Amino acid sequence: MPELPEVETIRRQLAPAMQGRRLAGVEVLDARWCEPAPPSEVEDALRGRVVERLSRRGKYLVFELALRGDPSGPTPRGDVYLVMHLRMTGNLLLAPDAPRTRVRFELDSGDSVLFTDVRRFGTGVVLLGRDALDDYFRARLGVEPLSPDFTADALGELGRGRKAPVKAFLLNQERIAGVGNIYADEALFRARIHPLRPMGTLRRPQVAALRDAVVEVLEAGIDSRGATIDDFRNADGAEGAFQDRFLAYGREGEPCVRCGRPIRKLRAAGRGTYVCERCQPRPRPRT
């Protein structure tokens, strides 16, 4: 599933082609993408608007749209936002045609941006006005990990008293936005913290190490243009390369790069989880 670095990679690649361009055409080919809103309503709300900015919050990609030119047209004035979640297999491609296309965006430059999605779990929601956008994210997402707000103090405050295993804590989008299964394992390995350790029991230096490790792996993921395990592709169709830099994820049975002990796979937060139990000691049972 695309996590923050994969969505950010798509955003950076599409922004130069989309920003300042008008959506000359929008075609929703799969009504499930925007339900319960009818496709025609979504198409009408987007068509003719100019992409002021392509932005990202957590794993969501946002088309920030404004009216330019004829303000007296049938579309109401004011800002409109298309909030997209790629879910399991969604991709946005800058290409004229691609298999499994669910939504087509035609730009006034002649370029096409296609939302492709094999599993069809990706979604699109149109929100009217900045307040609606802020409300939408406030209800769903916690701190943005690559923002200045994500400090060791902030993480310590968020985690205070939490009994949930640290892996489950990291995956909870309402606490930290954008971290998924791969980047959680990579961050915990780097910070030398066992995934089953209750979040609230981390000591201050561990919280600081975890904060730094989360930022480090997300930035490394962006530098590598994401990780391609199966479906993820860059906007130009190329694969990401971060999977070549994994230290823990997917390395079951391979030697730990630090101590040589085989990486183990276990379950944490309901997900396959990779860990070196020498470098990341198991929490001691409470007596």
Task: Closer to Zn ion by CB, 1 or 247: give it.
Answer: 247
Q: 184-197 burial by CB neighbour count: b if 16+ within 10 A, else e?
A: bbbbbbbbbbbbbb
- Looking at 22, 104, 271, 278, which residue is catalytic? 271
Q: 12-46 burial by CB neighbour count: b if 16+ within 10 A, else e?
A: ebbbebbeebbbeebebebeebbeeeebeebbebb
Question: Is 3 an annotated catalytic residue?
Answer: yes
The residue within the footprint of Zn ion, chosen from 77, 130, 163, 258 (CB under 5 A), is: 258
277: closest CA among 267, 264, 266, 268? 264
- 184 part of the interface to Zn ion, by CB under 5 A: no
Task: Closer to Zn ion by CB, 25 or 262: give it.
Answer: 262
184: closest CA among 223, 25, 175? 175
Question: Is 39 an annotated catalytic residue?
Answer: no
- Looking at 21, 56, 57, 59, which residue is catalytic? 59
The residue within the footprint of Zn ion, chosen from 74, 110, 161, 259 (CB under 5 A), is: 259
Question: Tokens 């055409």, residue?
Answer: 25
Task: Closer to Zn ion by CB, 168 or 275: give it.
Answer: 275
Question: Tokens 């405050």, residue?
Answer: 157
- Looking at 2, 5, 39, 145, which residue is catalytic? 2
Structure tokens at 205: 């230096």
Of 76-84, 127-135, 214-222, 250-258, the window that binds Zn ion (rule: CB under 5 A) is: 250-258
Question: Is 74 an annotated catalytic residue?
Answer: no
Task: Closer to Zn ion by CB, 27 or 277: give it.
Answer: 277
Structure tokens at 11: 């955003």
When CB distances to Zn ion are compared, the closest residue is: 256
Task: Closer to Zn ion by CB, 4 or 188: give it.
Answer: 188
Instruction: Count CB atoms within 10 A of the CB of residue 157.
Output: 11
- H helical segments located in the chain: 4-18, 39-46, 130-138, 152-159, 166-171, 181-191, 204-223
Of 16-24, 58-66, 216-224, 259-267, the window that binds Zn ion (rule: CB under 5 A) is: 259-267
Of 139-147, 220-228, 256-264, 267-275, the window that binds Zn ion (rule: CB under 5 A) is: 256-264
Question: Is 167 an annotated catalytic residue?
Answer: no
What is the C-alpha to C-alpha distance for residues 26 and 45, in angstroms, rounded to an integer? 10
Residues 202-241 that bind Zn ion (CB under 5 A): none
DSSP class of residue 231 equals: S
Q: How many residues bind Zn ion (CB under 5 A)?
A: 6
Instruction: Count CB atoms within 10 A of the CB of residue 141.
Output: 18
Residues 6 or more apart from 70 whose CB is under 8 A from it? none
The residue within the footprint of Zn ion, chosen from 26, 34, 80, 256 (CB under 5 A), is: 256
Beta-bridged to residue 263, according to DSSP, are 252
Shortest spacing between CB 278 and Zn ion, in angstroms: 5
Asked if 132 contacts 81 with a C-beta cutoff of 8 angstroms, the reply is yes
Residues 268-287 that bind Zn ion (CB under 5 A): 276, 278-279
Residues taking part in catalysis: 2-3, 59, 271
| Interaction site with Zn ion (CB under 5 A) | 256, 258-259, 276, 278-279
